[in-house]
């Protein structure tokens, strides 16, 4: 059984590291007129095979966990409401296609609850995958082009083409960092969470160093080779995390994702207040030092392309005005649909097709049909007021679980999990991918899964 558990842990770590990659087979795709759309597409991802294999292997273990009962109750209630929404949905088949995204994400959440999952290893795998995405995104911004590969799920991103996410600077269209993900905002969300996780690892390393000083005094180091080796190992760990934080910060900035910036800011301050509450003086002092360091890194990046960051932060320029206008239209669509179906909703995954079928078919471009950029409003539009409240309740239960764990476990994983949950809750106010797209849903439920484990004793980390 131990061998199987190690194999399953490796498989889940591989899944988490590869989750941003979009290699897939499209099985069915809804259309607006003759134009296929991404939202509601039924796909089989290469990573799905890994996750389902791990889930199947878990069934052969004698010891399994279900996770917190109150969260399971909320999850089951949400699934029931989604099932009922298929009956009244604008297009029932889109509900069936879309539910695949949620089921895979829930399976991920369930697997994270298992006793054989070591959170430190799992988060390290996530961090490794995010590092690769950050480097890829930085390369895209420098080259102002992207690799194209159907095998890797990499689409073409030409800054001169309509529909490509760009930022205007000095009359030029600059390609934003995508990584291997469908949109820079999703990469931004990944890197925001990864930055918080990286700082959590630094807290762990620094705590190890503090405890090590009790064993290896300066006199011992002079006398023992092992002591010198111990100091060298800690130094390399710190240097490694320093490099990771730098790369992730640069990658996050080059996504030009305002929602990710806000989410990271919220999670970063939650970390600070958590360290204050726990009375870890050394912890909030480290936070202050790293805030200064990340500010220096950000300053160099901003000075490299100041006009691009000015456009994104002051919402000036033609593209920014178009973006704001488009988002306002999406909110208008959401409220119009909510007036039509306040209790039943238009059906899970159905907002885009409902706008086309019931509100307007005359928009010039298929890209003009999108979900509203607010996860909580979107869930209410699609599932009705009751369904929206159930989803919100589920998230609040997860937040409460992370908060309680902070005071009970009082370790770096608990601090990190609370910060990452808060980060995504803020991002949900400004974007929809945590609800609509597989990569976003996977990120959300991974974070909720770690939060549900709540920073268990270090033996499980």
Say which residue, 162 or 448, is predicted with more confidence: 448
What is the average per-residue pLDDT within 418-439? 96
Domain assignment present for residue 56? The answer is yes
Q: Is residue 357 part of a domain?
A: yes
Residue 155 lies in a domain: yes
CA 423 distance to own-chain centroid: 9
pLDDT for residue 208 is more than 80: no
| 320 has pLDDT over 80 | no
pTM: 0.93
**Residue labelled with tokens 């996977």:** 442
Who has greater pLDDT, 446 or 327? Answer: 446
284 belongs to a structural domain: no
- Higher-confidence residue: 223 or 419? 419
Please count the CA atoms within 13 angstroms of the CA of 120 that sit on its side-chain side. 13
Per-residue pLDDT at 272 exceeds 90: yes
**pLDDT tens-digit map of 343-371:** 999 999 999 999 998 988 878 788 889 99
Residue 179 contacts residue 155 (beta carbons within 8 Å): no
Burial of 181 (C-beta count, 10 Å sphere; 0-12/13-18/19+): buried
With 80 as the cut, is the pLDDT of residue 141 above it?
Answer: yes
Q: Above 80 in pLDDT, residue 211?
A: no
Q: Number of structural domains, the chain?
A: 1
313 falls in which pLDDT band (50, 70, 90)?
A: confident
439 in a domain, yes or no?
yes
Average pLDDT over residues 256-275: 95
Radius of gyration (C-alpha) of the chain in whole angstroms: 23
Domain membership flag for residue 30:
yes
pLDDT band at 227 (very low <50, low <70, confident <90, very high): low
pLDDT at 460 over 50: no
- Token code pair at residue 258: 């305002």
Which range marks the domain in which residue 420 is found? Answer: 2-182+310-460
Cβ-based neighbours of 319, under 8 Å, separated by 6 or more: 166, 167, 168, 311
> Position of tokens 């991974």?
446
In a domain, 268, yes or no: no
Average pLDDT over residues 186-192: 97
Q: Which of the four pLDDT bands, split at 50, 70 and 90, describes residue 139?
A: very high
Residue 259 belongs to some domain of the structure = no
Half-sphere exposure of 326 (CA within 13 A, CB side): 17
pLDDT of 67 reads: 79
Is 47's pLDDT higher than 90? yes
pLDDT at 237: 84
Angle at 436 between CA 196 and CA 434, to 5 degrees: 15
> Which of the pair, 224 or 86, is modelled with greater confidence?
86
**Res. 454: pLDDT tops 70:** no
Average pLDDT over residues 11-38: 92
């Amino acid at each position: 059984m131990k061998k199987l558990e190690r194999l399953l842990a490796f498989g889940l770590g591989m899944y988490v590291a590869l989750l941003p990659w979009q290699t897939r087979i499209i099985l069915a795709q809804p259309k607006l007129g003759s134009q296929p759309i991404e939202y509601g597409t039924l796909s089989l991802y290469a990573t799905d095979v890994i996750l389902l294999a791990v889930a199947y292997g878990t069934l052969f273990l004698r010891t399994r966990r279900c996770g917190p009962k109150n969260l399971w109750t909320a999850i089951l209630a949400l699934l029931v409401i989604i099932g009922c929404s298929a009956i009244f949905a604008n297009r029932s088949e889109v509900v069936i296609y879309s539910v695949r995204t949620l089921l895979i994400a829930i399976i991920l959440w369930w697997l994270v609850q298992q006793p054989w999952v070591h959170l430190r290893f799992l988060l390290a795998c996530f961090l490794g995958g995010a590092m690769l995405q950050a480097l890829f995104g930085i390369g895209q911004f420098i080259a102002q082009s992207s690799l194209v590969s159907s095998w890797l799920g990499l689409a073409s991103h030409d800054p001169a083409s309509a529909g490509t996410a760009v930022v205007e600077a000095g009359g030029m269209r600059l390609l934003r960092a995508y990584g291997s993900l469908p949109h820079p905002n999703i990469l931004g969300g990944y890197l925001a969470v990864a930055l918080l996780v990286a700082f959590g690892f630094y807290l762990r390393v620094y705590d190890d160093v503090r405890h090590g000083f009790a064993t290896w005094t300066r006199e011992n180091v002079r006398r023992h080779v092992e002591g010198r080796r111990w100091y060298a190992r800690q130094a390399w760990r710190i240097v490694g995390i320093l490099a990771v934080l730098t790369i992730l910060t640069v990658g996050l900035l080059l996504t030009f994702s305002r929602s990710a910036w806000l989410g990271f800011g919220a999670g970063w301050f939650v970390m600070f207040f958590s360290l204050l509450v726990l009375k870890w003086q050394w912890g909030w002092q480290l936070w202050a030092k790293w805030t200064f360091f990340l500010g220096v890194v950000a300053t160099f990046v901003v000075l490299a392309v100041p006009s691009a960051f000015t456009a994104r932060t002051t919402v000036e320029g033609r593209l920014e005005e178009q973006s704001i206008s488009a988002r306002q239209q999406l909110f208008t669509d959401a409220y119009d649909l909510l007036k039509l179906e306040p209790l039943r909703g238009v059906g899970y995954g159905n907002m885009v097709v409902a706008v086309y079928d019931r509100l307007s078919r005359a928009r010039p471009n298929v890209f003009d049909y999108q979900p509203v950029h607010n996860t909580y409003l979107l869930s209410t539009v699609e599932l009705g007021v009751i369904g929206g409240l159930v989803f919100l309740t589920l998230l609040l239960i997860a937040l409460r679980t992370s908060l309680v764990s902070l005071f009970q476990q009082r370790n770096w994983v608990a601090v990190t999990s609370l910060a990452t949950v808060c980060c995504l809750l803020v991002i949900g106010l400004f974007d929809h991918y945590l609800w609509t797209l597989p990569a976003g849903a996977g990120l959300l439920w991974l974070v909720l899964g770690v939060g549900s484990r709540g920073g268990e004793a270090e033996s499980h980390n």
